[in-house]
């Protein structure tokens, strides 16, 4: 046997040893990206529809905040639990259950006849999204061989970055379209065909359920799930309701009580691990300064991001009287800036400069928020889309620089066996940060706008957003300097 023949045999045996991958893996990836985009659109799409909802259903300013916060709060509270349920029952099964429940909850939101029913529907929507979304990462790992996973995960940043800021634009177009007299209800009805496609295509395209379970035996940590839910509600509920109630004592006691509940959660996770059980979160993560620093950075950054999007759309409609489609289309420059920043960051800058790209993005976003503040004040009641365009592009570009590499850099501070748990916690913190941002910045805007007018209120709130982004830049020094070399951590 010749040397060349031996080498060819070795090459063939190596190729045979590598898994071929699921035959429908690229179509399956497109489906996962579709539902991820649907989730991110739903987290932001209602901001531009809120004034129309308020006019038809009634309710106060806190109801506007709850329409956004109920979704992200339920999502954040149940996200880690949803990921664990996927380990236990299989990710394909949870994907299909989550997609079906999300679709039905969207129909319930569209049929709501008062603010309470709509807010309840949004919470149910967020709960089913928490079953659906965390299955994406595991499904992609099950479908793709290792050599193709990098390319699959590389599609996440631009798709998800664009989806997260297209919500207001799409919301404005749908509300103004008013097809068949549906008005704002169309922002929820649009999920119905997407949800049906997700269920039907998922049952055909995704790998068999037995291939998507965790290999080891896993049990659900119910006390841990209950404690995370309690802490989230204790923190967010008084932030949303506090201003309308004139900040009574219970609001401060509730927020303070969230701290010992979180400490108790950390203690129960250590206890579960010591007994050989399956904690919701690996206790060792709490001892890693780089990871806890990433959590703090994530809460502040995603809070500033969500709050800024809400306040801008509210000022343009409630303050300036713009139509939903006018307000939505005005946000397109921000979307384009974000995509440009994400592509440049993820493909060129982040692999070379690491954490410094996060700092550059946070400082750029803070400058963008300050530029928006000055533009809003200078334009007053005569503000135009063209006046906002430069500041929106700058803001979007800064946000894009951050969003592409954040999760990879944040996960560089954990061990390989902790990556799955850490990814779930980071995604939950992204959603919880959004809820807190909507609560805090929304409350600040409504308070200042009631006292001094919409433009000064929006301006001061944008200034507060800039301070939050600067605080996130300071916290980012706690993160690792570079991402994991294998690129193992991704949103999803």
Residue 36 sits in a domain whose CATH number is 1.20.1250.20
Taking the CB of residue 76, how many other CB atoms lie within 10 A of it? 25
The pLDDT assigned to 211 comes to 67
DSSP state of 207: P
For residues 313 and 325, is the Cβ–Cβ distance under 8 A? no
Q: Measure the CA–CA gap between 84 and 281, rounded to whole angstroms.
A: 10
User: Does residue 293 lie in a domain region?
Assistant: yes
Cα of first residue to Cα of last residue in the chain, in angstroms, is: 49
- At which residue do the structure tokens 């500041």 appear? 391
User: Does residue 7 lie in a domain region?
Assistant: no
DSSP state of 412: T
Please enumerate in sequence order all residues whose Cβ is within 8 A of that of 84, keeping only pairs 6 or more positions apart, or say none.
218, 220, 221, 278, 280
248 phi, psi to nearest 5 deg: -70, 175
Return the closest-CA partner of residue 172 out of 85, 64, 49. 49
Residue ranges with strand state E in 91-244: none
The pLDDT assigned to 165 comes to 66
Q: Measure the CA–CA gap between 486 and 141, rounded to whole angstroms.
A: 14
Q: Measure the CA–CA gap between 402 and 396, rounded to whole angstroms.
A: 10
DSSP state of 478: G
Question: Which alpha helices (DSSP H) does 380-484 contain, by range?
Answer: 385-403, 406-411, 419-452, 454-475
CA distances from 470 to 97, 166, 306, 394, 404 (A): 40, 25, 16, 15, 19
Q: Measure the CA–CA gap between 78 and 73, rounded to whole angstroms.
A: 9
For residues 362 and 402, is the Cβ–Cβ distance under 8 A? yes
CA dihedral (428, 133, 400, 373) in degrees, to 10, reads -60
The pLDDT assigned to 473 comes to 96
What the block records as the tokens of 28 is: 């399956």
288 phi, psi to nearest 5 deg: -100, 115
- At which residue do the structure tokens 């990836």 appear? 29
Count of the separate structural domains present in the chain: 1
Q: Measure the CA–CA gap between 448 and 455, rounded to whole angstroms.
A: 9
User: Does residue 279 lie in a domain region?
Assistant: yes
For residues 381 and 322, is the Cβ–Cβ distance under 8 A? no
Taking the CB of residue 12, how many other CB atoms lie within 10 A of it? 10
Domain of residue 352, residue span: 21-478
Q: Measure the CA–CA gap between 46 and 49, rounded to whole angstroms.
A: 5
58: exposed, middle or buried (Cβ count in 10 Å: 0-12, 13-18, 19+)? exposed
Torsion sign across C-alpha atoms 454, 460, 464, 465? positive
User: Does residue 264 lie in a domain region?
Assistant: yes
User: Does residue 9 lie in a domain region?
Assistant: no
Return the closest-CA partner of residue 41 out of 157, 156, 147, 188. 188
User: 419-452 vs 454-475: helix axis angle to the nearest 10?
Assistant: 150
User: Does residue 241 lie in a domain region?
Assistant: yes
User: Does residue 492 lie in a domain region?
Assistant: no
- At which residue do the structure tokens 């893996």 appear? 25
* 10-residue averages of pLDDT along the chain (492 residues): 48 51 84 85 77 82 83 86 84 92 95 92 93 84 78 70 72 80 87 92 85 69 88 88 84 93 90 83 85 92 90 89 87 88 83 90 97 94 93 94 84 77 82 86 89 91 96 94 60 44
Taking the CB of residue 334, how many other CB atoms lie within 10 A of it? 29
321: exposed, middle or buried (Cβ count in 10 Å: 0-12, 13-18, 19+)? exposed
Q: What is the pTM of this model?
A: 0.81
User: Does residue 385 lie in a domain region?
Assistant: yes
What the block records as the tokens of 173 is: 């177009």
The pLDDT assigned to 490 comes to 44
Please enumerate in sequence order all residues whose Cβ is within 8 A of that of 357, keeping only pairs 6 or more positions apart, or say none.
345, 349, 350, 401, 402, 405
């Amino acid at each position: 046997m010749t040397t060349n023949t031996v080498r060819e045999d070795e090459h063939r045996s190596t190729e045979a040893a590598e898994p071929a991958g699921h035959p429908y893996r690229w179509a399956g990836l497109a489906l996962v990206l579709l539902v991820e985009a649907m989730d991110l659109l739903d987290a932001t799409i209602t901001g531009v529809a809120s004034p129309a909802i308020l006019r038809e259903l009634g309710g106060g300013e806190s109801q506007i905040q709850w329409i956004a916060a109920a979704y992200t709060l339920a999502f954040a509270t149940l996200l880690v639990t949803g990921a664990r349920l996927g380990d236990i029952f299989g990710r394909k099964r949870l994907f299909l259950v989550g997609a079906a429940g999300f679709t039905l909850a969207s129909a319930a939101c569209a049929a709501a006849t008062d603010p309470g029913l709509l807010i309840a529907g949004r919470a149910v929507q967020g709960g089913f999204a928490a079953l659906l979304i965390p299955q994406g990462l595991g499904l992609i790992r099950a479908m793709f061989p290792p050599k193709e996973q990098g390319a699959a995960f590389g599609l996440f940043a631009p798709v998800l970055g664009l989806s997260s800021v297209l919500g207001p634009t799409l919301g404005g177009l749908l509300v103004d379209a008013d097809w068949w007299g549906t008005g704002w209800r169309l922002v929820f009805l649009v999920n119905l065909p997407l949800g049906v496609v997700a269920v039907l295509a998922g049952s055909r395209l995704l790998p068999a359920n037995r291939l998507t379970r965790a290999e080891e035996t896993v049990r659900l940590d119910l006390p841990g799930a209950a404690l995370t839910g309690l802490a989230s509600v204790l923190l967010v509920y008084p932030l949303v309701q506090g201003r309308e109630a004139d900040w009574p004592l219970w609001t401060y006691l509730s927020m303070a009580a969230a701290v010992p509940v979180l400490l108790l959660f950390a203690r129960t996770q250590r206890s579960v691990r010591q007994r050989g059980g399956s904690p919701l979160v690996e206790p060792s993560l709490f001892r890693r300064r780089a990871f806890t620093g990433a959590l703090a950075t994530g809460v502040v950054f995603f809070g500033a991001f969500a709050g800024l999007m809400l306040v801008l759309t509210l000022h343009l409609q409630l303050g300036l009287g713009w139509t939903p489609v006018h307000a939505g289309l005005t946000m397109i420059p921000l979307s384009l800036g974000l995509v440009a920043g994400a592509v440049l960051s993820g493909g060129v800058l982040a692999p070379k400069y690491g954490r410094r790209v996060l700092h550059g993005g946070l400082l750029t976003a803070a400058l963008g928020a300050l530029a928006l503040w000055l533009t809003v004040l200078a334009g007053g009641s005569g503000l135009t889309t063209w006046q906002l365009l430069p500041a929106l592009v700058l803001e979007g570009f800064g946000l894009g620089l951050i969003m592409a590499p954040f999760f990879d850099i944040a996960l560089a501070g954990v061990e390989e066996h902790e990556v799955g748990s850490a990814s779930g916690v980071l995604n939950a913190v992204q959603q919880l940060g959004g809820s807190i941002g909507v609560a805090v910045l929304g409350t600040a805007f409504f308070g200042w706008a009631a006292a001094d007018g919409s433009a000064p209120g929006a301006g001061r709130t944008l200034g507060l957003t800039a301070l939050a982004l600067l605080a996130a830049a300071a916290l980012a020094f706690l993160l690792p300097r570079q991402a994991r070399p294998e690129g193992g951590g991704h949103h999803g």
